[in-house]
Amino acid sequence: MAAMVDHTLLKPEATPADVASLVAEAGELGVLAVCVSPSSLPLAADHDGLVVATVVGFPSGKVRTPVKAAEAARAVDDGADEVDMVIDVGAALAGDLDAVRADIAAVRAAVPVPRVLKVILESALLDDATLTAACQAAEAAGADFVKTSTGFHPAGGASVHAVEVMHAAVGGRLGIKASGGIRDAGAATALVAAGATRLGLSGTRAVLDGLPG
């Protein structure tokens, strides 16, 4: 499971020392990636062998598209291998999936392949039909992954049901990242069984330590 994990630190109070500790712990745990705020890039700590991910339009998504694209381009220049962008959830709830798709496409243009673009849908706010449509918009715009949650919205984080809906919509063609509120091995295992191909974890050590030996 470690090879599926984005070891994450997105707290606004995170210091450079906290980020360095995250990177060091990531190396100890053997995870795939670290995910940090864009202001923490470029990473000062030795991160050899780790994928570097960051976030864009985070956490609200209520940022104009050119600003998201500019933030993404700067993140790439600062060494990000992967970018997790937040959609305008209000546009999705209003049924304006054309706007959602255009927003994603603009960020995709700023995050050229082989860099990876993940699209955060804030799935706890969306009914199944809207979540499916948002996944389809992300696929049409060229995203590599769809992702459940920021982990910052009071509506909640990842759920098995949301991952199942996302897997039905794009599984096998796009990756599916579950994130937000995954605190133990049981929850992580259930999400992977539902179709998650990547996990965003801040309490990575506790999750991995809880796995059967």
Read off the pLDDT of each residue in 177-190 and give the average, rounded to a whole number: 98
Q: DSSP letter string over 172-185?
A: TTBEEEEESS--SH
Report the alpha-carbon distance of residue 141 to residue 93 in Å, rounded.
Answer: 18
User: Of the listed 6, 68, 103, 147, which one is catalytic?
Assistant: 147
Q: Is 62 a residue of the active site?
A: no
Strand partners, 116: 82
Give me 202's structure tokens: 């801040």
CA-derived radius of gyration, the chain: 16
Percentage of the chain modeled with pLDDT above 70: 100
Q: Is 177 a residue of the active site?
A: yes
Instruction: Show Cβ contacts of residue 136 under 8 Å, excluding neighbours closer than 6 positions.
Output: 97, 169, 170
Read off the pLDDT of each residue in 109-114 and give the average, rounded to a whole number: 98
Do 84 and 120 contact (CB within 8 A), yes or no? yes
Phi, psi of 86 (to 5 degrees): -100, 130
The model's confidence at residue 213, banded by pLDDT at 50, 70 and 90, is confident
Neighbours of 96 (CB within 10 A): 15
Report the alpha-carbon distance of residue 85 to residue 3 in Å, rounded.
Answer: 22
- The answer, yes or no, to whether residue 102 has pLDDT greater than 90, is yes
User: Of the listed 6, 68, 103, 177, which one is catalytic?
Assistant: 177
Read off the pLDDT of each residue in 42-67 and give the average, rounded to a whole number: 96
User: Of the listed 6, 84, 88, 103, which one is catalytic?
Assistant: 84
pLDDT in the model for residue 158? 98
Could you read off the pLDDT of 123-143 as tens digits, one per residue?
999 999 999 999 999 999 999
Q: Is 118 a residue of the active site?
A: no
Give me 132's structure tokens: 């499916």
Give me 76's structure tokens: 């790439």
Read off the pLDDT of each residue in 160-181 and give the average, rounded to a whole number: 98
CA distances (Å), origin 154, targets 87, 122, 135: 17, 10, 21
- The answer, yes or no, to whether residue 11 has pLDDT greater than 80, is yes
